[in-house]
Every structure is written in C-alpha cells, then in structure tokens.
Amino acid sequence: LYRLFSMIAFGEGVVYQLFQTKFPFTRGPLFYDHEITILCWAVNNVKTLSWLDRGYNNLNYVRYFEKPIILELGCGSGFYTKKFYALVPNAKVYACDIDKEALKKAKYKKQQNVNFIYADITNNMPDIDGITNVIWDACINFFTVEMQKKILSCIAKRLEESGGVLSGSGVLMNGQIMWKEYDHLFQNEREVRELLLKYFKYVRVYKGQKDDDENTVFFAATNSEKLKEVLG
C-alpha cells in the first residue's frame, strides 16, 4: 500500500510539475523534488513517506542548540525550511538558493524567523554570524566533485568559530542511471565519508529509517570536540 501510494503521488507530481512550470519532465527546474514533496505532504495526512527522513535527520542536530542559527543551502521552494527548521523553538533560519523562481515560491507565506536569500554558493556563500547548523540536503549532487570540495571547505570555515555542525543527505548511484540531472552521484557511503573527512574531524554517514530507500545516504560532520558525541 505504501509503495502504491508513493507511485500514485509521484505520478501526480509529474503532471503537476509539467503544468506549473511548462518544462519537459527531463528538464525540470532544480527544485523539482521539492514540488513533488509539497504535493505528497498535501495528500498524505499520515505523513510517513521515506523522504521525510531528510527533514528529521537534520532536526536531530538543529535541536541540540538552544538558539540555533541555521544556514540551509539549496532550499528550493522552501518545503523543509518551513515544515521543519522554522518550527524549532528560538530558531533563526537563513535559506538560500540560486533559482529565483524557487525563491518566489519559498517566500510565499514564510514564517517571520526565516530569511530566503538568493546566492550562488560556489562563489558567494552567505556569511552569517554565529551559524550553528549548515544544512546541505540532496542538492549536494548537483555539483561536481571539485565544486563539492570547494563548498565543503567554505562550510568548514563558516562553522569553525561557532563550533557548529553540517548535516544533510546525498544520492547514491546503486547502478541506476535515472538521475541524469545530477552532476555527481556517490558510488557508496565510503565515498561520502572520505569526502567529508577532508574537511571535518568527526563524520557520521548512515542510511535513514526507511530500509527501502536505497538511494539516499545521510551525513553529519563537525570539527567541534563538544559535538562529536552528538553525531552518534
């Protein structure tokens, strides 16, 4: 039943995206997955689909701080920003994306503790004082390995003074070729771990709560001695 519902919701999302953006399916905008997520959230009252792991995973590290200051990279149309991070008590969220159309959707009915920012994180990542959490979720795969390294180096510097934590998720190849829009798919969990260890002392890489989601790998990383136990 779960798989059947997921397939139906995905099919509805494809139709929704085609009519809303007037893009062919294979050339959809970068925030395509967020549009499907919004639709799934609307029609699924139980809210148990596996993609929710992405939001809950990051909340594990956001909630550690009494007054979290969050920088979300590649926020898309703001689904996870609004439904998860902005709801954390005392949280201040700065969410950025390079897609102006996505940001227009994100700013609609946004919470007061959220600022949506246009930014190209490859060249001009927002410099926010006291960042406790950087969230780089899923869109990490939209960058080549070299660009991933450049961005991770910048993230590590942003978190150095505050002693914060990076968290997010990536997509594994698993022998599939369906993810043509991505610039780089990770071969396995080890590749993700080795990449993060170039910039962080403490790294955790793991699968989510749903065993059937074989394509997603979650990660968390920090250079803070105090936070290493938080990674689990």
The CB density around residue 2, as the number of other CB atoms within 10 Å, is 12
The more confidently predicted of residues 22 and 42 is 42
CB proximity list for 109: less than 8 A, separation 6 or greater: none
Please give the pLDDT value at position 173.
79
Query: Which among 195, 209, 229, 160 is positioned nearest to 54, based on CA atoms?
Result: 209
pTM listed for this prediction: 0.82
* Angle at alpha carbon of residue 163, lines to 162 and 168, rounded to 5°: 105
Task: State what percent of residues in the chain have pLDDT above 70.
Answer: 72
Residue 25 confidence (pLDDT) above 50 = no
Band of residue 158 on the pLDDT scale cut at 50, 70, 90: very high
Judge whether 148 and 125 are in contact, CB under 8 Å: no
Residue 22 confidence (pLDDT)? 45
Cα(227)–Cα(220) distance, integer angstroms = 11
- For 174-208, how does the pLDDT look when each residue is reduced to its tens digit (9 = 90+)? 655 555 667 888 989 999 999 999 999 999 999 86
Query: What's the pLDDT tens digit per position in 159-180?
Result: 988 889 999 999 887 655 555 6
Q: How confident is the model at residue 21 (pLDDT cuts 50, 70, 90)?
A: very low
**Angle, alpha carbons 51-126-189 (nearest 5°):** 40
Secondary structure in 3-state letters for 187-230: CCHHHHHHHHCCCCCEEEEECCCCCCCCCEEEEEEECCCCCCCC
Coil, helix or strand for 86?
helix
pLDDT digits (tens, 9 = 90+) for 209-224: 655 567 789 999 999 9
